[in-house]
């Protein structure tokens, strides 16, 4: 995969706020500056976003994530998670479990993560992190 971006939870929340308010902001400006990149998210982010929808709003949630290809959890992602977890723990650099799944997915699919938390994701060796 080339020329893609993995949109992390903080980015998607900011994008949703901008769209709801009808005000252009950092998230929309970032996407405009990076067009026509393919837009991805991870299975973990899709799950985190589902938290914001009521049980009877599954169709609305599916519509929300429809513009993005959701990258799956694979055996390679699981292996990468374990190896990255081991490295971060050994070096006192641990990050939250869901963020580690996002990072592992990005490493396996060789795509940068777009986030407002560059310092946090920057702990992961080899991970390309883009702020907005």
Q: What is the CATH number of the domain that holds 71?
A: 3.40.50.1010
CA distances to 12, 44, 107, 108, 131 from 50, rounded to whole Å, are 12, 10, 24, 24, 23
Q: What would the mean pLDDT of 98-106 be, rounded to a whole number?
A: 98
Which domain, by its residues, includes 119? 4-130
What is the number of domains present in the chain?
1
Is the four-CA dihedral 10, 109, 44, 39 of positive or negative sign? Answer: positive
Strands 129-130 and 4-7, sheet pairing: unpaired
Specify the pTM: 0.93
Nearest to 120 by CA among 10, 3, 2: 10
pLDDT digits (tens, 9 = 90+) for 56-85: 999 999 999 999 999 999 999 999 999 999
């Amino acid at each position: 995969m080339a020329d893609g971006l993995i949109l992390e939870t903080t980015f998607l929340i900011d994008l949703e706020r901008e769209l709801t308010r009808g005000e252009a902001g950092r998230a929309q400006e970032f996407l405009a500056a990076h067009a026509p990149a393919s837009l991805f998210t991870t299975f973990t982010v899709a799950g985190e976003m589902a938290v914001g929808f009521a049980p009877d709003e599954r169709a609305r949630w599916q519509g929300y994530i429809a513009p993005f290809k959701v990258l799956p959890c694979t055996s390679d992602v699981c292996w990468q998670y374990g190896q990255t977890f081991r490295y971060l723990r050994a070096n006192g650099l641990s990050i939250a479990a869901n963020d580690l799944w996002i990072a592992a997915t990005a490493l396996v699919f060789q795509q940068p993560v777009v986030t407002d938390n560059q310092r946090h994701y920057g702990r992961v060796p080899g991970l390309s992190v883009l702020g907005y």
